[in-house]
Amino acid sequence: MPSTLNEDKRLERPAYWSGVFAMALCVFALIASEFMPVSLLTTIAQDLHITEGLAGQGITVSGVFAVITSLTISYLAKGIDRKHLLLGLTAIMAISGLIVSLAQSYTMYMIGRAFITGNNGKKHFTVDSIGEDRFLWVLARNEKGDAVGYATIRPLTEGIAEVKRMFSSQSSPGIGYALLTFLEKSAKAMGYNALLLETRKVNTRAVKFYRKNGYISINNYGPYVGRDEAICFSKNYNLHI
């Protein structure tokens, strides 16, 4: 008799449909981002004017970053509510799909494919940042309308913004400088007094680029404190623009 009562209690437990929805979403994302692109490699290659082999590398790169993410996500996200983490990663995957679907060049296609794993070295950039009032997202295009670079700034304090996710194609010179100049002018118009940013020490090209454009190295701030692989820069651009 007691066992029957216990069984009845178990049957009366409410169904957690959010878990079912999460699993369904994961299945959909897996099919849409991994299985479906494999069947479309020829079409992708034709649209981007590349070989099928190069198009296939877009599948490989997401797998490589997925391995890196799987090994680091539990440590990096240990203090984040799992519901918020799931929503954030879902938003990242949606943005990735948008980048891939609108990509006009092989570079932007690969960025979108890598971005789908949520791993590009900037895990402290959250989806909530996009909704902030003084957030700016910039996409650079060439004369043909192809995307050749992008960058964002987000607020850190009332007078300080942070440069995040800056990328520029090497297809033509001056793209990075044009992006950075636009960010600085826009930040000034938005009321910021200075910009901060972080990059990796091994990325010597980026380190030289920022120093060349008036950025000075500072002590690592925020999430980069204690990370020897990171180098942080600042610029009071009111003195330069």
- Where do the structural domains in the chain lie, given as residue ranges? 17-115, 132-239
- Whole-angstrom Cα distance, residue 139 to residue 96? 14
Q: What is the DSSP letter of 227?
A: -
Residue 240 has pLDDT above 60, yes or no: no
How does residue 145 score in pLDDT terms, banded at 50, 70 and 90? confident
pLDDT above 50: residue 122: no
- Give me the phi and psi of 235, to 5 degrees please: -155, 125
Q: Does the reported pTM lie above 0.85?
A: no
CATH number among 1.20.140.10, 3.40.630.30, 3.40.50.300, 3.40.1230.10, domain 132-239: 3.40.630.30
Q: What distance separates the 2 farthest-apart alpha carbons in the chain?
A: 82
Residue-level pLDDT at 126: 43
pLDDT at residue 217 is higher than 50? yes
Q: What is the number of other CB atoms lying within 10 angstroms of the CB of residue 54?
A: 16
Confidence of residue 123 (pLDDT cuts 50, 70, 90): very low
What does the alpha-carbon distance between residue 227 and residue 241 come to, in Å, rounded to a whole number? 32
**What local confidence, expressed as pLDDT, does residue 82 receive?**
74
Residue 151's pLDDT is what? 83
- Per-residue model confidence as pLDDT tens digits over 30-54: 677 766 776 677 777 788 888 777 7
Region 115-127: what's the mean pLDDT?
A: 47
Spatial separation of the C-alpha atoms in residues 10 and 81, rounded to whole Å: 27
More confidently predicted of 238 and 115: 115
Tokens of 154: 């987000």
The strand pair at 147-155 and 136-141 is best described as antiparallel
The SS3 assignment for 168 reads strand
Range picked from 77-81, 94-98, 210-214 for highest mean pLDDT:
210-214
Query: What is the reported pLDDT for 220?
Result: 93
- With 60 as the cut, is the pLDDT of residue 56 above it? yes
**Mean residue pLDDT across the chain:** 76
The angle that helices 82-102 and 17-30 make with each other, rounded to 10 degrees, is 30
